[in-house]
A and B are shown apart, each in its own frame.
Chain A
Amino acid sequence: MDLDALVGCLSSSACLVTQTTSGLIIGMLLFLVAVGLTLIFGVLKVVNFSHGAFYMFGAYFAMTAYQLTGSFALAVLAGAAGTAVLGLIFERVFMSRVYGADVLMQLLVCYAFVLIFDDVVRIIWGPEFKSMGMPAAFQVMPLFIAGGVVPPYYLLLIGVALAAAIVLGIGLSRSRIGKVIRAAAHNPGMVSALGINTGLIYGGVFALGGMLAGLAGALAAPVRSLTPGMGFSVLIESFIVTVIGGMGSILGALIGALLLGLIRSFGSLGFPLFTEGLMYLFMVIVLVSKPTGLFGKEAA
């Protein structure tokens, strides 16, 4: 334990700025993955254990598009669009068959695809780790804000993730499609009786969830190494986020992810050997005091 370092950091603006942005970056990427997970659960009532694979595919699609076109914008687009298509196919062909089945069956299907997707990546891109490299536009000196260090690329990353959060939040609460999705989550039988194609809604939501994870993977590709199985650790952390925030709650995913990010960045100063432990400890506290998560609704 190194509380001096933590207190010292909290009283210095430079350290505060650097660590807070570092927490935001970790948190926002996590949010993109976790929100897809929580969205799919909220509407489809399945826990998508293969969600990490979409993060992985997003990164690989982005890398390939970047190598082919040299454009980072196209790379991010390819990562997001590619995983959306993949999500749609995956839901329509496989997941839609196990909606009525018990949880174990759903889990097995998802787990099978974790292994299949990892091997597909290994066959297409090879087993060795890859690096996409930072686009030239972002190979610049970091900004110094109030003495703290903030890389411009991370500002972009936070911005994109925040924009996704806002669009998602407003879209779901205000737009017609959003209302239909929420209605389908609440009472799919009724929605279907009103002549709305629920299969399409389900496929769409799965594609959206996959796309968000793919977007996170594409945004992470320039700074994280790409390897088959890279989705796994991200998946575990997204589960922690959804457990803390509440399964099915978008706001909960955002708050949960940001909290985890900040716990990591400040925890590594104050509790260097217990940073991981802090995350789980926090999860346990939330589970004990509010088992549905911070923003989770009580089961009806």
Chain B
Amino acid sequence: MTRTRRPGISRRSTLALMGAGAMTVAAPWVARAQAKTIKIGMPTILSGRVAQLGTSSRNAVMLEVEKVNAAGGLAGRQIEMVIRDSKGQPQEAARVARELVNTDGCELLIDAEASSGAFAVHEVARDLGVFCIHTNSETSALTADPKQHIPNAFRTARQGVHDSIVGGSYAAAIAKAKGLKKWATCSPDYAYGRDTTAEFTLYLKRFAPDVEIISESWPKLFQPDYTEVVTKILQAKPQALYSCLWGGDLTSYIDQANIYAMFGQMEVFAVNMADYTALTVVKNLPKGIHSGNRYIKTFPATPENAAWGDAYKAKYNEYPTNWSWENATAVMLMAEAAKKANAADGKKLAEALAGLTIKCPFGADGTVTMRAEDHTLVGYAIGWGTTIPQEPYVPEVKAGDWKTIFELEAEWKKSKGYT
């Protein structure tokens, strides 16, 4: 049977006509709106186990965007954030990023993904040529590896290798002073845990050659119970323990190690301890855990940093996280770059941003710099200290020396074949 076409206008062509009509009516409005506002897309993790960090990224961005908009916007254009949940899945992060640019009309991207997602979004930025700042991925290779380098992508997160150099030299100084030769490690069994632990021990041994790693444990990520790991470490009787467990895993581990009185038997170096998400949750925080700074409002000990931490707390009723300062810095840098370029266009913004130094509450000397050669943030506050069970949690942080960091980083890049 053949279908006969009814006379008159078909449904399809009616739709097409209506669509065209809508376009003509809407087009001028879109053009005007674009001149006024600029959309910034932001894929981040708003559900699942890491949701707290994603939310804190969003909070920090909104806090800063409000300031920028109040001061006239990005080169005169008001910022409109479009924030989407990637659920922490790389393929979803890439899809969301693409959609933000192609469908939602975002001209710039803030990629607030963990490392797995960041590499996926990076490929989208490479493909679409859209301006993109990675705010949370600390994996060194993202910017250190020249194969990853693209002119339109930047990173405002701290970098794994910087942390390892500072952590290694800090730990080595204590190892020498206290004669800590036998070390154990306990880190989550995935790329971040493996890489960070390897880099830390590399620099620890470099600064303190006597150190020997006598026991390694690799619990699964999000493992609920660490009892067998705790008792294994107790059996090995190390003098010191390094761990890069984080978040709920770290607090579980501390609670479980506490009842074995582990913290009295060895010096513990937990790089991710000094973050408010962990510090405020652990009920019986042991005294004297060594930790790297993540975000803490007392380091750098400046009124600007304290004011920023308090303003965030006042607005969101909780303290900022490591991801918060990294995201806030991204917005601060974009605002300054737009001022310098007098444009909010991605290409001009990228040119202005490379090599830009701005005043920033999270800077070691009150400023941070977007290094021109590899588009990664340097000069941020980085240091280690020991915990106490109540505020300010880490009363004194020993600052890392950026001169040493630069020297050793250059050497590390060479050894990796990056330069």
Contacts and interface: CB of A to CB of B under 8 A. Distances in A.
A183 to B, nearest CB: 37
Interface residues of A, number: 45
B251 A265 contact: no
A127 interface: yes
Contact of A225 (B48, B230, B259, B281): B281
A15 interface: yes
A149 interface: yes
A223 interface: yes
Contact of B228 (A22, A229, A233): A22
B55 interface: yes
A53 to B, nearest CB: 14
Contacts of A5: 235
Contact of A268 (B49, B232, B282, B284): B232
A141 B263 CA distance: 12
A153 interface: yes
Interface string A129-157: 11111100011011000000101011000
A5 B216 CA distance: 12
B229 A129 contact: no
B235 A9 contact: yes
Contacts of B49: 129, 227, 229
B259 A133 contact: no
Contacts of B277: 128-129
Contact of A19 (B231, B251, B259, B281): B231
Contacts of B256: 223-224
A269 B216 CA distance: 10
A142 B283 contact: no
Given A131-B282, A272-B216, A275-B228, A138 B259 contact: yes
Contacts of B235: 5, 9, 15, 18-19, 269
Contacts of B282: 131, 133
Contacts of B249: 225
Nearest to B236: A5
Interface range, B side: 35 or more
Contact of A134 (B216, B217, B227, B255): B255
B252 A26 contact: no
B283 A132 contact: yes
B52 A264 contact: no
A227 B259 contact: no
A138 B259 CA distance: 8
Given A127-B51, A264-B228, A276 B220 contact: yes
B255 A130 contact: no
A138 B47 CA distance: 35
B140 interface: no
Give the interface centre of B55, B217, B249, B258 by most chain A CB atoms within 10 Å: B258
A23 B259 CA distance: 16
Contacts of A273: 218
A23 B228 contact: yes
B222 interface: yes
A269 B281 CA distance: 30
Given A225-B281, A233-B222, A26 B228 contact: yes
Contacts of A76: none
Contact of A141 (B48, B229, B252, B261): B261
A272 B218 contact: yes
A131 B232 contact: no
A26 B231 contact: no
Contacts of A265: 227-228, 231
Contacts of B260: 142, 149, 151
A129 B247 contact: yes
Interface string B245-257: 0011101100110
Contacts of B251: 129, 131, 225
A134 B259 contact: yes
B301 interface: no
Interface string B277-310: 1000111100000000000000000000000000
B113 to A, nearest CB: 17
A225 B248 CA distance: 6
A230 interface: yes
Contacts of A44: none
A253 interface: no
A178 interface: no
A272 B236 CA distance: 13
A225 B255 contact: yes
A291 B284 CA distance: 46
Interface string A283-299: 00000000000000000
Nearest to B258: A134
A135 to B, nearest CB: 10
Contacts of A128: 51-52, 277, 281
Closest 10 CB pairs of A and B: A133-B283, A129-B248, A225-B248, A151-B259, A128-B52, A127-B51, A268-B228, A22-B231, A265-B228, A225-B252
Given A18-B231, A141-B261, A223-B259, 13 more contacts: A18-B235, A26-B225, A29-B225, A127-B55, A128-B51, A129-B281, A131-B251, A134-B258, A142-B259, A142-B261, A154-B259, A229-B48, A272-B232
Interface of B: 47-49, 51-52, 55, 216-218, 220, 222-225, 227-232, 234-235, 247-249, 251-252, 255-256, 258-261, 277, 281-284
Interface of A: 5, 9, 15, 18-19, 22-23, 25-26, 29, 127-134, 138-139, 141-142, 149, 151, 153-154, 220, 222-225, 227, 229-230, 233-234, 264-265, 267-269, 272-273, 275-276
14 contacts: A19-B235, A26-B227, A129-B277, A130-B281, A138-B259, A153-B259, A225-B249, A225-B255, A227-B49, A233-B223, A269-B232, A272-B217, A273-B218, A275-B228
